[in-house]
């Protein structure tokens, strides 16, 4: 039986035992909270699929999540289902599909004390802004980000400890309706992730093993150690610096190795981000800095973010990275061999409307720091009423020399655009 099924069965058993034990306490308070949210978005991609015969995409995505949260004394039981179906406006020949109905969240949490919580089951695990840990299912779009995990959060003398045992299968063994064979990740993933939060300093270590049950990818084990430093330099100024060093054993091919057996299979990789935030006045804040993910350079290998494959830096560029895929591996949101200086400005326009402007000069460190292109971003966020939000996002990429077709990739020569509007409501 798959480990993820065992985790979920353990979750159910512990939930029943924990709920029964808590219910015998006359002082136990039982509360119920319905869970519901609806998100509708339309995304138009103009030329972003440059590697395909038809480079344009236009679709409407509707995600519905519903469930129930029950609190019994120090115990919490939570179940939530999710469905996201997509209607293609272009290309018009894509058949409509209601997609899958899956278990998005199924957990039992026990607050053993004011400082210690144990959570078992399907749950979201997010560290800060998701440099290393956020998206549990890179091939899943934004339908769901859960991990199958046993997670312990507690306070120690040196700081706050976050320890998780994770198993995410390539395919979901629990699909209530729809495609049982849909891939969520590149391979079956098993991991131990630990983090020590000491306020200004955060230290993390992740061991992750990837084993493709279909045998299309080589077995890969990674150990990633990272340090994050977040300093306040004044009332409205701060400096963030995070660096991750990773050892890989069994690295599979990337854009630099078009043949699966090419290149070194073990070695080191590195990633970092550093940003300075400040107040520019006139209610405008800024964030300026740099991020870097290594490519192949001799003994240096491309960085493989454990669970950082999501649109952290760009909604547009994650789709263009599909053009760098290799046999058995879809490179959507695979931030590797990518670096950029980056500037972001934010300003509230009214009490319910906020604006963001961003610019990045994307680079490919290997083979010779070639330009991937200039990326511009504009976003408006609307806080309409209680629970009702909306946003409008536009991104543009003017491609650079890296995309001229010299690296065995399809050429990208024209400026491409990404436009999205979204409306969401949550109880």
| Residues 58/425/73/109 CA torsion (nearest 10 deg) | 10
191 upstream amide cis, omega within 30 of 0? no
What CATH number has the domain spanning 3-426?
Answer: 2.40.160.100
- Please give the Cα distance from 151 to 140 (Å, whole number): 23
Is residue 103 within 8 A of residue 176, CB to CB? The reply is: yes
Residue ranges of the domains in the chain? 3-426
Is residue 7 within 8 A of residue 149, CB to CB? The reply is: yes
**Residues with Cβ within 8 Å of residue 330, at least 6 apart in sequence:** 139, 186, 322
176 φ/ψ angles, rounded to the nearest 5 degrees:
-75, -35
pLDDT number for residue 220: 93
Report residues of the chain scoring pLDDT below 50: 1-27, 253, 255-256, 258-261
Please count the other Cβ atoms lying within 10 Å of the Cβ belonging to residue 218: 18
- Please give the Cα distance from 142 to 311 (Å, whole number): 9
pLDDT number for residue 251: 61
pLDDT number for residue 264: 60
| Residues 278/280/283/289 CA torsion (nearest 10 deg) | -40
Q: State the Rg of the chain over Cα.
A: 22
pLDDT number for residue 396: 98
Per-residue tokens: 372: 């991937």
């Amino acid at each position: 039986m798959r480990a993820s099924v065992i985790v979920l069965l353990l979750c159910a058993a512990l939930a029943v035992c924990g709920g029964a034990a808590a219910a015998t306490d006359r002082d136990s308070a039982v509360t119920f909270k319905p869970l519901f949210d609806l998100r509708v978005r339309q995304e138009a991609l103009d030329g972003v699929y440059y590697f395909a015969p038809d480079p344009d995409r236009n679709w409407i995505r509707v995600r519905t999540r519903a469930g129930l949260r029950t609190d019994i004394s120090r115990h919490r039981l939570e179940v939530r289902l999710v469905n996201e179906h997509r209607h293609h406006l272009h290309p018009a020949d894509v058949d409509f599909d209601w997609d899958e109905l899956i278990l998005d969240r199924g957990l039992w949490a026990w607050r053993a004390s004011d400082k210690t919580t144990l959570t078992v089951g399907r749950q979201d695990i997010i560290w800060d802004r998701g440099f290393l840990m956020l998206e549990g299912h890179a091939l899943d779009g934004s339908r769901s980000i859960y991990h199958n995990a046993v997670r312990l959060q507690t306070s120690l003398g040196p700081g706050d400890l976050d320890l998780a045992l994770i198993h995410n299968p390539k395919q979901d063994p629990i699909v209530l309706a729809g495609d049982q064979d849909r891939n969520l990740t590149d391979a079956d993933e098993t991991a131990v992730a630990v983090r020590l939060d000491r306020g200004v300093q955060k230290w993390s270590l992740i061991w992750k093993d990837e084993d493709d049950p279909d045998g299309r990818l080589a077995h890969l084990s990674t150990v990633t150690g990272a340090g994050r430093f977040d300093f306040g330099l004044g009332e409205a100024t701060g400096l963030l610096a995070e660096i991750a060093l990773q050892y890989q054993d069994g690295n599979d091919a990337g854009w630099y190795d078009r043949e699966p057996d090419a290149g070194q299979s073990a070695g080191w990789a590195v990633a970092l981000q550093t940003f300075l935030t400040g107040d520019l006045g006139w209610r405008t804040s800024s964030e300026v800095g740099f991020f870097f993910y290594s490519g192949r350079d001799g003994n240096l290998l491309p960085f493989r973010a454990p669970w950082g494959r999501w649109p952290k830096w760009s909604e547009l560029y994650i789709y263009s990275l599909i053009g760098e895929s290799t046999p058995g591996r879809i490179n959507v949101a695979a931030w590797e061999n990518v670096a950029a200086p980056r500037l972001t400005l934010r300003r509230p326009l009214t009490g319910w409307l906020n604006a963001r402007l961003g610019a990045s000069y994307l680079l490919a460190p290997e083979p010779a720091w070639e330009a991937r292109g200039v990326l511009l971003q504009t976003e408006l966020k609307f806080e309409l009423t209680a629970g009702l939000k909306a946003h409008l996002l536009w991104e543009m990429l003017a491609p650079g020399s890296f995309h001229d077709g010299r690296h065995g990739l399809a050429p990208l020569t024209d400026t491409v655009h990404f436009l999205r509007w979204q409306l969401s409501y949550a109880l």
